[in-house]
Structure 1
């Protein structure tokens, strides 16, 4: 994907007012940063979650990951074909749900029950939770004959992945970027199914009532200890009905300004939902700051969600993208939370030294 993306991004840059040297440096720096993260993504363990992260396709030619950001994040559940499992059960281990969280998950999520069989393997979509910029989907994977995956011999549940795992919301704009993470685990060790989790974030808003298109191909198991590589060739395609996005908090004022090392960034958008956050910053190209340097400044900036009980949740460490909008650079940050966040518990968003109040949309 690298060369094709680079050429498209270079073509996009030709429409902006930069010198040839600036354009070449911008593309080179962005591609170097993206390549490093792609190499790390294939084998990276995510802190606080017991799984091996797996990449899935990034959509959109007009977007690039920022220097120093993570490309990834994660989700889970289980269901037999045709059986609608409660959303709270599906996401219980993924978001570490307590009693209050279970009620919230039931309100903002949607059971699915869609199922596809290929080469003797059934993949069932269990449930989805979504907001305006992110969605979490959980699948169950099992053999049709009920035997354990892996020629009847049950293999480590956290080493399963698909060779290709693409997810796309039909209602998103063509130039939107999607980044995310996938992993597997075993919800019920006594049964023969494993759970496969996909989390996706986007820099473009997702319309309510849309369709999520999922393409999975070639189920694989990686056993790093004995170097075994088990594969079942197949294709599992499905279109999943998108739920109504959950409520979110947004910034009370427009065009807040944060100054970082003498450079003034506009805070264009702040969105906080129970499952994720979405932050958009911008700076004019006449600021003299390159895209890479702007990304580095924002990466070093403290971004936190402050709760009423005094607890703070770090923001800005998940996936991110940069776009050119007119003669301004836009820097978009987004990620899912480790646990569901109750909006009524939020006091403010902190960007650098600024405390920014938020309100329900």
Structure 2
């Protein structure tokens, strides 16, 4: 367990944040000194004790503690720009997501892990980046039409103790254009169930642009460690249904769905090598059923044929998976069914 001193030593504030705190506290102090503000018989608020500069070290520590207690960003706020802010989405994110309080500063740039959310196979992490001197990360963020910023790391790696493969995506966005921070989000899906443990994240060289034309904004390596744990709200659906994939018979093994992601596991009754020889495209596309989509209770559909996945030989057949993270949080009671080729699998939460 961290000591109180350790917790205080880990507190970090940008110069702009420090100045704003000082301005607020000094204003409150000046107001408290006015003769028209009687204080007899009235408790002095904690922030005013700090503003008055009480000599006791405890008072100073309490000031820091009061400021730090609000530093953690609620999971729903951290993921709002990624997965939506409707009341049902906010409720789910706050229930299954967790705020994080891990940060590191290199070369005057701080990277802070804000929150994590996950399920059996997938997880998402949001980070905030800001310069300690209060300047913006870049003077020209240049967001595209989807709101993503033209920023990237030279390299990034997230180790959560999973020994298999993963696939996913990551991008930058600006949650609040009025502050000097930008956000970085990772959406990743594993090929086997995830286990709780410790996440180790390594990020290098913040850049703007792509290829040789990318401009270096901050050089360095940022490393963070935090608990890899969350509440799993996945629903496992029974398999056994048959469908066809490019004329071959396939059998559904299992389906795992949560408000965050979907994973479909199925077997195609033909050897992988045979399919590779016959297909002019990639084995993955040759073994992907058409179509794959969700049907919601309001009648709308969400196309999932663009999800990633993987394949592997399994004797005289081929084991396949389609999986990925949704672009918004989907309450399970709003999902009516999953269509995989000719099969329709009802989603029932009871």
TM over 0.5, shorter chain? yes
Structure 2: runs of 5 or more not aligned: 1-67, 144-148
Match of 1:258 among 240, 243, 247: 243
In 1, Cα distance between equivalents of 2:269 and 2:341:
20
Match of 1:89 among 77, 84, 90: 77
> What are the superposed Cα offsets for residues 198-247 of structure 1, whole Å, 9 maximum, x if unpaired?
1111111102x2222211111112289xx561332211112221223431
In 2, Cα distance between equivalents of 1:107 and 1:189:
27
Matched, 1:134 2:125: no
Structure 1: runs of 5 or more not aligned: 1-79
Instruction: Find the residue that maps to 1:309 and give its secondary structure.
Output: coil
Contact 2:271–2:318 (Cα < 8 Å) also in 1 = no
Q: Residue in 2 aligned with 1:203?
A: 191
Shift of 1:321: 1.5
Shift of 1:156: 3.7
Larger RCO (CA under 8 A, 6+ residues apart) = 1
In 2, Cα distance between equivalents of 1:326 and 1:223:
43
TM-score by length of 2: 0.71
TM-score by length of 1: 0.69
How many residues were matched structurally?
274
Q: Residue in 2 aligned with 1:230?
A: 216
1:1-361 maps to which residues of 2 (within 5 A)?
Answer: 83-150=71-138, 153=139, 155-156=141-142, 158-170=149-161, 172=162, 174=163, 176-207=164-195, 209-222=196-209, 229-252=215-238, 254-286=239-271, 289-291=274-276, 293=279, 295-299=284-288, 301-360=290-349
Shift of 1:344: 1.4
Contact 2:127–2:184 (Cα < 8 Å) also in 1 = yes
Question: What CA RMSD, in Å, does the superposition of the two structures yield over aligned residues?
Answer: 2.7
Instruction: Find the residue that maps to 1:113 and give its secondary structure.
Output: strand
Contact 1:81–1:124 (Cα < 8 Å) also in 2 = no
Instruction: Find the residue that maps to 1:94 and give its secondary structure.
Output: helix
Shift of 1:256: 2.1
Greater C-alpha radius of gyration = 2
Shift of 1:261: 4.2
Greater helix proportion: 2
Contact 1:125–1:139 (Cα < 8 Å) also in 2 = yes
In 2, Cα distance between equivalents of 1:217 and 1:318:
28
